Amino acid sequence: AQSVAQPEDQVNVAEGNPLTVKCTYSVSGNPYLFWYVQYPNRGLQFLLKYITGDNLVKGSYGFEAEFNKSQTSFHLKKPSALVSDSALYFCAVRDEVTGGFKTIFGAGTRLFVKA
């Protein structure tokens, strides 16, 4: 079965510093990997996805993620963090089942960006 793991419950970073939110995956076949962000009292928002092709994927709000097949990782990165980036981040993988797809989310990583 497909799965993703987010090893850090929380990441703290100072504003202006680079940030990384980690995700590792376990899939059979080609992975469809996603990052979503959840702000307080809001639904999830799509940030970026990896389907195939270039290992560096660029997404919304200046975020990017690097797909690493040998390390089975899909870490989310941003060169310079903003206080407004503080939120809950979810890594996800699509799992094909008969007739459709399930989405399996990681436990989430809370990002705190300090001014």
Partner 1 sequence: DSGVTQTPKHLITATGQRVTLRCSPRSGDLSVYWYQQSLDQGLQFLIQYYNGEERAKGNILERFSAQQFPDLHSELNLSSLELGDSALYFCASSVTLAGMVEQFFGPGTRLTVL
Chain residues binding partner 1 by CB under 8 A are: 32, 34, 36, 41-46, 49, 51, 90, 94, 96-108
Query: CB of 22: closest distance to partner 1 in angstroms?
Result: 16
What lies within 8 Å, CB to CB, of 106 at 6+ separation is: 4, 5, 6, 23, 90, 91, 92
Position of tokens 């399996």? 104
Among residues 59 and 86, whose Cβ is nearest to partner 1? 59
Among residues 49 and 77, whose Cβ is nearest to partner 1? 49
Position of tokens 């797809």? 101
Among residues 80 and 96, whose Cβ is nearest to partner 1? 96
